Amino acid sequence: MKKIAALVTTLILGASTAALAAPNGPNVRDHRAPYSQFRPQLPSWTLLSQNASLARGRDKIDVSSSARFTKLKLEASRGSMFIDKVVITFANGERQVVNLDKTIGARTGATTIDLTGRSRQISKIVVSGKGGFRAGYSLAAV
């Protein structure tokens, strides 16, 4: 009798396991999006000028990009320099004057400037100040 009970139990358990693994059952889809879709994308900086200098007290940078920006980043590439002010002219003719009165160099790190309004197209940027011998800076926007 024990052999028959063991045989019946084995048949029942084997049939139920086979039913669970059968590919003819209902299809269940995973509707969750892949993880990469939810990963935040960090904005990349667009280089507007590299190794610019303030040899004559000011530097004019014409921006030929039609992209729209929200921030500027000034960073010393060589030496140190004193930045008096930055004048940003937008594509619609409006201007933003930023009085920095700050020295930038290798030890001070980058200086960021928030642009007024939302993302805006820039036509030119004028940086005024005084640079040391062979001092240079780079200007990037995001």
DSSP conformational letter for 16: H
- Measured from the Cβ of residue 127, the count of other Cβ atoms closer than 10 Å reads 26
pLDDT band at 118 (very low <50, low <70, confident <90, very high): confident
- Residues 48-91: tens digit of each pLDDT: 999 898 878 999 999 988 999 999 999 999 889 999 999 999 99
What's the CATH number of domain 46-141, 3.40.640.10, 3.60.15.10, 2.60.120.1380, 3.40.50.2300? 2.60.120.1380
- Measured from the Cβ of residue 139, the count of other Cβ atoms closer than 10 Å reads 22
